[in-house]
Amino acid sequence: MSGSVEKKRVLVIGKDARTDAIAEKCLASSPEPEVYALTEFPIPGLIEKCTKVFMKPLTDRQALIPIVQEVCPHLAIIGPEEPLEVGFVDALNDLGVPAFGPTRRLAAIEYSKSWTRELLDRYDIPGNPDYRIFTSKKGLGQYLEKLQSFVIKPDGLTGGKGVRVSGEHLHSRQDALSYAESLLALDGRVQVEERLDGEEFSLQTITDGNVKIHCPLVQDHKRAFKGDGGPNTGGMGSYSCPDFSLPFLEADDLKKAQRINEQVIEALCRELGEPYRGVLYGGFMAVADGIRLIEYNARFGDPEALNVLPLLQTDFVELCWAVATGTLKPIARPFDKKATVCKYIVPRQYPQAAPRDEKIVVPNKYRRRDDVKWYWAASEKRNGDAYLTSSRSGAFVGIAESIEEAELIAEAAAQSVEGLVRHRDDIGRKDVIELRVRHMESLRGRGTRFRRTPAEAGVFSLSEGSASMRR
């Protein structure tokens, strides 16, 4: 696309804050493109940013045909997983539109957990925990007995809500057997794996199947309430550090995760005979003796996209187009070396359903700054106002030299939102991050040499000044 001054038309597909962040990043490209959206409800961010918004189910491939005929997009960028699973990328390619995202067969890395585990084994890629896939009840009881502490997973997409962990969601062997049998009855297979103890982190790798660009590591917070309590959610917030690692990791952990993502991208190409194009997002856990793979996703994470996209220094439309057309080149310094803290604003009842007709007001003063971003998620714009739905409303991302400063910015912004909403005020806070470092120390031993001290890694300001501002 270089060298041309023609206005490009980009179609973004999705219904979340991640897609709003993608649209924003497209608009910051040069020359500024026209951005169109295919979504399911009137998300204020997409309504405000896009030339035209189409509302159709994100699982309806046929819906793409008239939209592509009308817009003639030069490029499509897909946010969430559902359109990937039903083959939106294949349909777009058939219509002559390069797409940022893997084809349906390659997206199996996310929608079939058993296929993914077996792929790693077949290509001798490290990272799998002890696991077994059952297609009948035979041997299930004995395997649970052997593991003692285990996790039971359905094979397909469940929005993170189908995974049940012994001791947390499953309180007896009978509970576990009943749940496993219900999954067997539902889709003929169930995955059981050892329960891992450690700290989770996300590594997103942007690739055209050949060149691989690793994003800064991010830690998500899935639990609904402060202190990591309550039910799992789509993610309540996240943080990333200026050194692109995380304070509870050793240097080797980062390298191992990057190597696993690289090997999986290569294995996918060998296995299916086509290049993986888009983002490969590995959910890892740092454990006592190294790292393990929890799962793969075939797209940017949400909230993880909100941490890394504002830091991306290269032209986003150029980047996505190079990925979609297999012409990606290595980039010397793709990301700004800053810290980010993301805090999701959610309806007070979330993750339970909330009344839909409540207004949410986000003050403009936090929407026009470089050190804080606001992304709309599942809110709806009607007659110029924004209204809550039952899902997450939107997210602030604070961007600064240290986590501590980024957290202060995100927290002040989050507190300014008016409406029946809440957020987790502990995400990115020093005490919470230190707990995670202590957790890893307890697993790996006191002598563990973490990558750097938290202060050196830019987690906290070196001066105590801003810490005292909070208290």
Residue 157 C-beta: closest distance to ligand GLY, Å: 10
Question: In this structure, are residues 261 and 278 in contact, taking their beta carbons and an 8 Å threshold?
Answer: no
Closer to ligand AMP by Cβ: residue 150 or 335: 150
Partner in contact with 129, chosen from ligand AMP, ligand GLY, none, beta carbon below 5 to 8 Å by kind: ligand AMP
Among ligand AMP, ligand GLY, none, partner that 297 touches (CB below 5 to 8 angstroms by kind): ligand GLY
Q: Residue 75 burial by CB count (10 A; 0-12/13-18/19+): exposed, middle or buried? A: buried
Residues with Cβ within 8 Å of residue 413, at least 6 apart in sequence? 343, 366, 372, 374, 396, 398
- Of 344 and 450, CB closest to ligand GLY: 344
Task: Please state the closest distance from residue 277 (CB atom) to ligand AMP, in A.
Answer: 23
The contact set with ligand AMP (CB under 6 A) reads: 129, 151, 153, 160, 163, 165, 193, 195-196, 200, 222, 283, 294-295
Interface residues with ligand GLY (CB under 6 A) are 160, 220, 235, 297, 301-302, 304
The site partner of 165 among ligand AMP, ligand GLY, none (C-beta below 5 to 8 Å per kind) is: ligand AMP
User: Which CB, 153 or 392, lies closer to ligand AMP?
Assistant: 153
CA distance 73 to 33: 10
DSSP 458: T
- Residue partners of 431: CB distance under 8 A and separation at least 6: none
Measured from the CB of residue 88, what is the shortest distance to ligand GLY in angstroms? 18
The two beta strands, 219-220 and 223-225, are unpaired
- Between 209 and 301, name the residue whose CB sits nearer to ligand GLY: 301
Q: Tokens 């039971």 — which residue?
A: 152
- The interface partner of residue 151, options being ligand GLY, ligand AMP, none and the CB cut-off 5 to 8 Å by kind, is ligand AMP
Strand order in the sheet with 199-207: 212-214, 199-207, 278-287, 290-297
Give the C-alpha separation, 281 to 307, whole Å: 14
Return the percent helix, strand and coil in the chain, to nearest 5.
30, 25, 40
Closer by beta carbon to ligand GLY, 176 or else 298: 298
- Decide which of ligand AMP, ligand GLY, none touches 195; Cβ closer than 5 to 8 Å per partner kind: ligand AMP
Q: Rounded to the nearest 10 degrees, what angle do helices 403-415 and 430-444 cross at?
A: 130
Residue 304 touches which of ligand GLY, ligand AMP, none (Cβ within 5-8 Å per kind): ligand GLY
Indicate which of ligand AMP, ligand GLY, none lies near residue 200 (CB less than 5 to 8 Å, by partner kind). ligand AMP
> Residue 189 or 195: which CB sits closer to ligand AMP?
195
Q: Smallest distance from the beta carbon of 170 to ligand GLY, in angstroms?
A: 22
Structure tokens at 392: 């997450």
Distances (CA, A) of 359 to 136, 299, 356, 383, 387: 49, 31, 9, 12, 4
Residue 64 or residue 306: which is nearer to ligand GLY going by CB? 306
Nearest position to ligand GLY, beta carbon: 301
Residue 196, binding choice from ligand AMP, ligand GLY, none, Cβ under 5 to 8 Å by partner class:
ligand AMP
- Of the two residues 114 and 245, which places its CB atom closer to ligand AMP in the complex? 114
Dihedral angle, C-alpha 223, 225, 226, 230, nearest 10 °: -70
- Shortest Å, Cβ 359 to ligand AMP: 33
Residues 6+ apart with CB under 8 A from 328: 206, 207, 208, 210, 211, 213, 319, 322
Smallest distance from ligand AMP to CB 16, Å = 17
Provide the token pair at 387: 């209204």
